[in-house]
Amino acid sequence: MNLFAEMGLPAPLVKKLTAMGIEEPTPIQTHAIPYALDGNDVMGLAQTGTGKTAAFGLPLLAQLMEMRGKPEPKTVRSLILAPTRELAGQIRDALLPLVKDTPIKIGVVVGGASINAQIKRLERGTDVLVATPGRLLDLLDRRALRLDSTRFLVLDEADQMLDLGFIHALRKIAGLLPAERQTMLFSATMPKQMEEIAASYLTHPKRVQVSLPGKAVDKIEQSIHFISKAEKPNLLIELLDKHREELALVFGRTKHGSDKLAKKLQEAGYSVATIHGNKSQGQRERALKAFRDGQVKVLVATDVAARGLDIPDVKHVYNFDLPNVPENYVHRIGRTARAGRDGMAVAFCAPDEMGELKDIQKVMGISIPVASGRPWERIEEPAKPKGRGGPRRRGGKPGHTAGNAGSPGNANHKPGGGRPNRRRRNKGPRQAA
């Protein structure tokens, strides 16, 4: 018997799940779906790749199936907010097979696409609208839709929405929603500010947590190389050469840096695509399709791709640059080991990234196994006299140059060579992905 039927999901939904070969719920689904079906607000915490979309999507669709008639023009019966275009598209794609041959209509509105076409589609009213906060506000400003009759609100990957600076947009959107609604919030991590958001948006929520925040999927084999910044491209090419026919996702920190790295990989003979915030929606979708279909083997991306990419065949994830936000490391490596598969996550650490590495390992509660090199020594700089700019930032330099082989078996890798940065760079405002 399909275990979803025992939760009280309607027979048509259970039948579709069975036809898709889905008969056993994941832990987050097992705990969240019954609460949501009873009309409770739900706060779900689970690591990436554990089935959160179905955890909120199935009870949402089940309740919509009980509603009579069609939505009124420009109204939205249920709203799902996602931080990125890619995640919004993935949510839509996951829900579409479940509403086939039903009156329920699912729409998606994201930046980078024609706003006029989206306005036209919204005129008919929408059962389920999946949206990014920025584009939704644009449409609200143009009076293209109303939220006063929205019965259901879902905040997916809420922690990333906070990280991307959507807090003010979320507050404005929430103020346009009716007080009487069901709200579900799902996240992979629980930063302090999330507790404040939960208190504002949720009413007596049922909290469901199936894994510790910051815990990576157990089937991911992690490793780290301590290597100078200049030698990172050479080491990446050396490692990619070992699995040219397997899909690899490479994360950079900035748009310009990702484009520059992609060019070097192309010069080395790799089929490469890139996605970041400067790419149009069409360019991003074409790059993802080519990667998913195997037409390109390497995808270079900023953190815009850390959430919402569900490509089961990604075997390798490379953190070419360590992320500024430690939780993003967990989301990045969660792009591998999907659907029960094994995966490998390789990180590169330059001297000025020791602070990021320390934060990542603190969040995860582990020490990442060292593949090559030795940890760079962090130096405590003496504080400046008061009134002259305050204490210096901490930097790093190699501890034992002779032991810092950038790559096993390759004498050309010399992370100890050159003059290391003694001060961490002033990061300033984060570059948008």
Domains and CATH numbers, the chain: 5-209 (3.40.50.300), 220-403 (3.40.50.300)
Question: What is the per-residue pLDDT for 211?
Answer: 61
What confidence tier does 412 reach under pLDDT thresholds 50, 70, 90?
very low
Extended beta strands in 173-252, E state: 182-187, 206-209, 220-226, 247-251
Question: What is the per-residue pLDDT for 306?
Answer: 60
Question: What is the per-residue pLDDT for 382?
Answer: 52
- Full strand arrangement of the beta sheet holding 206-209: 106-109, 126-131, 76-81, 152-156, 182-187, 42-45, 206-209
Distance CA 46, CA 44 (A): 7
Residue 250, φ and ψ in degrees, nearest 5 = -115, 125
Residue 410, pLDDT > 70, answer no
Q: Cβ(83)–Cβ(161) under 8 Å?
A: yes
Q: Is pLDDT larger for residue 174 or for residue 432? A: 174
What confidence tier does 249 reach under pLDDT thresholds 50, 70, 90?
very high
Q: Residue 44 is which amino acid?
A: G
Residue matched to tokens 């919402």: 308
**DSSP classification of residue 247:** E
Average pLDDT over residues 67-88: 93
pTM: 0.66
Question: What is the per-residue pLDDT for 404?
Answer: 42
The percent helix, strand, coil of the chain (3-state, each to 5) is 35, 20, 45
Question: What is the per-residue pLDDT for 430?
Answer: 42
Q: Is pLDDT larger for residue 311 or for residue 174? A: 174
What confidence tier does 399 reach under pLDDT thresholds 50, 70, 90?
very low
Question: What is the per-residue pLDDT for 384?
Answer: 52
* Per-residue model confidence as pLDDT tens digits over 184-205: 999 877 777 777 778 888 999 9
Please state, in angstroms and as integers, the Cα–Cα distance from residue 417 to each residue in 226, 231, 404, 411, following that order: 13, 10, 10, 12
CA atoms within 13 A of residue 57's CA, in its CB half-sphere: 25
Neighbours of 324 (CB within 10 A): 16
Q: Three-class SS of residue 6?
A: helix
CA atoms within 13 A of residue 318's CA, in its CB half-sphere: 24
Average pLDDT over residues 101-121: 94
Question: What is the per-residue pLDDT for 331?
Answer: 81
Q: Is pLDDT larger for residue 15 or for residue 199? A: 15
Percent residues over pLDDT 70 in the chain? 82
Residue 177, pLDDT > 90, answer yes
Distance CA 80, CA 132 (A): 9
Average pLDDT over residues 158-169: 81
Average pLDDT, the chain: 84
Paired tokens of 39: 């009309």
**DSSP classification of residue 368:** P
* Per-residue model confidence as pLDDT tens digits over 332-387: 888 887 666 788 999 999 999 999 999 999 988 899 999 999 999 764 545 555 54
Residue 64, pLDDT > 80, answer yes
Residue 49, pLDDT > 80, answer no
Average pLDDT over residues 259-273: 95
**DSSP classification of residue 152:** E
Distance CA 346, CA 320 (A): 8
* Range 256-273 burial, b when 16+ CB lie within 10 A, else e: ebbeebbeebeeeebebb
Residue 230, pLDDT > 80, answer yes
Furthest C-alpha separation in the chain: 73
Question: What is the per-residue pLDDT for 53?
Answer: 92
Distance CA 276, CA 298 (A): 14
**DSSP classification of residue 249:** E
Average pLDDT over residues 107-128: 95
Question: What is the per-residue pLDDT for 51?
Answer: 85
CA proximity to 152, closest of 215, 249, 75 = 75
Paired tokens of 55: 């955890």
Distance CA 15, CA 12 (A): 5
